[in-house]
Amino acid sequence: MPVIPSGVQESLDISETARAVSASLDMTKKLFGILEVYHDQRAHSAAMNMAIDEALLECLTVPAIRFYRWQSPALSFGYFGRFADVANYKGNRDLVRRWTGGGIVFHGEDLTYSILVPASDATFAESSMWIYENIHRALCDALGETGQHAIVAGGDDFGRFSPPIAARRAGISDAGYNCFTTPVRADVMIDGRKVAGAAQRRTRRGLLQQGSIQGIDIGNGLAQRFARALSANCCERKVDEEILKLAQKLAQQKYGTESWLRKR
């Protein structure tokens, strides 16, 4: 084995250290150190979709993202929204009041996802807006990989829109407006048009962000790309029976009831 001069060896050691630091920095650019990914292939009712999200938040110990489908054309509206604003759609769509905030969202052809952040994860300590914006930055990166140039709406874009005051404050609040015709700060935009928005709920257990991506090509493995943009360490998971049983109970006793739907 050749003898490496000490000066060269020192240089190599420094180089190796620099590479290790660089790799560590690359990891820190991702929002989550680890991410469980649920591709829920089974289509659910609107009430059941909301219930699964709440059940996951109750049970998870690491961050997760769930992509899901709708049994029939649906409409979800924010926790503080008024039933009167969506009542006309009752015969045509599966209506549900979300646990999260935000406005009215039409579902069916969209890519719908939920991100769940347990209170034990470091990201939970960040502000709701910081989390909202950085999730959407990851989505922009994923869209860029499919050739779609997307941006996160910033201060200049934000000032051009006129959503209700509550929505303007954070982009994740509550009002009876159509989310996709009313962009707010940190939403995802392509060519001046909103293509992704979300709403949040924060509890002592963790943070839930429910989002919808629509009006664009959601193929080309966008869901997988989005997950990888959020974490370099993604683990595929399936919703287990324990979570499904809790969700069924929540759907029957909460999200699927007229009292919850007509809460306001």
List active site positions: 179
Q: Which CA distances in Å does 53 have to 40, 199, 209?
A: 11, 13, 9
CA-wise closest residue to 106 among 128, 88, 80, 124 = 88
Q: Which CA distances in Å does 232 have to 146, 152, 251?
A: 18, 21, 33
CA-wise closest residue to 214 among 63, 87, 70, 92 = 70
Radius of gyration of the chain (CA): 21
Write the Ramachandran bin of 134: left for phi over 0, alpha for psi from -120 to 50, otherwise beta.
alpha
The H or E element spanning position 261 is: helix 258-261
How far apart, in whole angstroms, are the C-alpha atoms of residue 179 and residue 161? 12
- CA 115, 39, 41, 59 dihedral sign is negative
What's the token pair of residue 250? 């929540």
Measured in whole angstroms, the distance separating CA 231 from the mean position of its chain's CA atoms is: 13
DSSP label of 245:
H
CB 170 within 8 A of CB 158: no
How far apart, in whole angstroms, are the C-alpha atoms of residue 106 and residue 122? 33
